[in-house]
């Protein structure tokens, strides 16, 4: 009954979601307040203005216009509003024609990959990386090429990157700020990456698309700037989601930017627009598109201070207890070194203390675990005695 192509996806079903389901089971047994679930990157900071935006849109938009068919690329006025916002923020020169509204960033990456990949084409990713990239590439019969992690800094290994680009390389995916490490690729890194890509394009006579996956763009701390990649490389496209910046992951709303500078940009925009339809999304949800326009016009954003406060508390406590991890500059994750080589064993020990974390092997980086600190400050406080007991069990506390 099940297709051969689906079987590997089923075998590699997300460990993140599995741990999330385990958290719900444990909460029913021990009480939700006694289970410390750091598995899922589900935003916990409400943005009340989103509710106001929904009510305003429903009240003031024409019913048939709001709920009817539209261009597969989305409402032109919404796309133009986003384009102008990007131009103002990053000094770009986009119009609505350069944007396609998508069903979250995942859909955005899929329509780009569907538009450019032929069977056997290679897509480079940097470990640790969001595990679903594997599935997205395999959807279109591409092959994932992994750059091994630099576990000192978790910045891209540019020498290995350059060595692994071949004539079959069709795309490179970066995630900035990064899930699971919280690292931000700085301007120098993006410039160096662009120079390597330009050199390889000339060598092989090919076009290599740099896909920047940016759902955490707005979650950068301490004034850290996240470079906007289209300013540094001509074949760069951006996939964005409002899931984290407006705390609306369930609404599945985002966009793709395809600049005019991209090789065959008009053809790529056309192909991606059609891909939006043929993969089954058809178009992004109409109501939420209008809500995004309202939020941009009213400068609605998430309360970043809450996440920064959470980061400081959990990072400070865990490092005090003897755990090793890089302090994240963005997103809302800690990537913690496991005190034992097999991090899945560590996850099981943590679970005995009602602490749920995700193994790093799910991100192609074994020996580490990911904690999502987008939870309440009170949950982090309640969890600290459990983390201390785990540290003591492994002899980490001094």
For 192, other C-beta atoms within 10 Å of its C-beta total: 17
E strands of the chain, at which residues? 36-37, 99-102, 122-126, 143-147, 169-175, 209-213, 236-241, 254-257, 333-337, 355-356, 358-359, 368-372
Residue 12 has a pLDDT of: 63
- In angstroms, the first-to-last Cα distance of the chain is 56
Residue with tokens 């990713």: 125
Residue 103 has a pLDDT of: 97
Residue 356 has a pLDDT of: 95
Residue 189 has a pLDDT of: 98
Sign, Cα dihedral of 281, 111, 99, 104? positive
Residue with tokens 């490092």: 319
The CA-atom distances, in angstroms, between 308 and each of 40, 86, 220, 224, 354 are 18, 24, 9, 13, 24
Residue 14 has a pLDDT of: 64
CA pair distance 379, 391, nearest whole angstrom: 18
CA pair distance 366, 344, nearest whole angstrom: 9
Residue 7 has a pLDDT of: 74
Residue 27 has a pLDDT of: 74
What's the residue count for the chain? 398
Q: Which residues of the chain have pLDDT under 70?
A: 10-15, 17, 398
Specify the DSSP element, H or E, that contains 389: helix 377-393
Give the tokens for residue 135.
């599935």
Residue 32 has a pLDDT of: 85
Give the pLDDT confidence of 331-384 residue by residue, as tens digits.
Answer: 999 999 999 999 999 999 999 999 999 999 999 999 999 999 999 999 999 999
Q: Assess whether the previous peptide bond of 140 is cis (omega < 30° from 0).
A: no
Residue 207's Cβ-count burial label (10 Å; 0-12, 13-18, 19+) is middle
């Amino acid at each position: 009954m099940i297709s051969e192509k689906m079987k590997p996806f089923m075998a590699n079903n997300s460990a993140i979601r599995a741990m999330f389901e385990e958290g719900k089971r444990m909460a029913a047994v021990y009480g939700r307040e006694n289970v410390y679930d750091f598995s899922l990157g589900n935003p916990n900071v409400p943005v009340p203005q989103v509710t106001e935006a929904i009510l305003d849109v429903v009240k003031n938009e024409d019913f048939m216009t709001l709920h009817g068919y539209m261009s597969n690329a989305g409402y032109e006025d919404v796309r133009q509003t986003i384009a102008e916002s990007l131009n103002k923020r990053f000094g770009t020169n986009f119009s609505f024609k350069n944007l396609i509204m998508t069903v979250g960033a995942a859909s955005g990456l899929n329509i780009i990959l569907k538009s450019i990949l032929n069977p056997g084409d290679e897509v480079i990713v940097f470990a640790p990386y969001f595990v679903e990239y594997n599935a997205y590439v395999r959807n279109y019969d591409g092959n994932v090429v992994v750059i091994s992690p630099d576990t000192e800094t978790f910045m891209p290994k540019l020498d290995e990157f350059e060595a692994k680009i071949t004539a079959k390389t069709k795309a490179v995916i970066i995630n900035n700020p990064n899930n699971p490490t919280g690292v931000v690729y700085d301007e120098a890194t993006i410039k160096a990456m662009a120079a390597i890509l330009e050199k390889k394009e000339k060598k092989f006579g090919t076009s290599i698309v740099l896909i920047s996956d940016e759902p955490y763009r707005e979650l950068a701390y301490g004034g850290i700037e996240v470079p906007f990649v289209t300013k540094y490389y001509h074949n760069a496209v951006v996939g964005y989601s409002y899931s984290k910046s407006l705390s609306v992951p369930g609404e599945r709303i985002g966009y793709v930017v395809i600049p005019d500078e991209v090789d065959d940009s008009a053809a790529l925009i056309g192909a991606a627009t059609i891909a939006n339809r043929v993969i089954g999304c058809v178009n992004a949800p109409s109501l939420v598109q209008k809500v995004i326009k309202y939020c941009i016009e009213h400068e609605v954003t998430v309360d970043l201070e809450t996440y920064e406060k959470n980061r400081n508390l959990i990072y400070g406590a865990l490092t005090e207890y003897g755990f090793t991890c890089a302090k994240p500059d963005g997103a809302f994750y800690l990537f913690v070194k496991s005190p034992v080589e097999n991090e899945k064993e560590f996850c099981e020990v943590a679970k005995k203390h009602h602490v749920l974390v995700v193994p790093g092997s799910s991100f192609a980086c074994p020996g580490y675990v990911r904690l999502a600190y987008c939870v309440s400050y009170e949950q982090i406080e309640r969890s600290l005695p459990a983390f201390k007991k785990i540290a003591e069990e492994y002899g980490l506390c001094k």
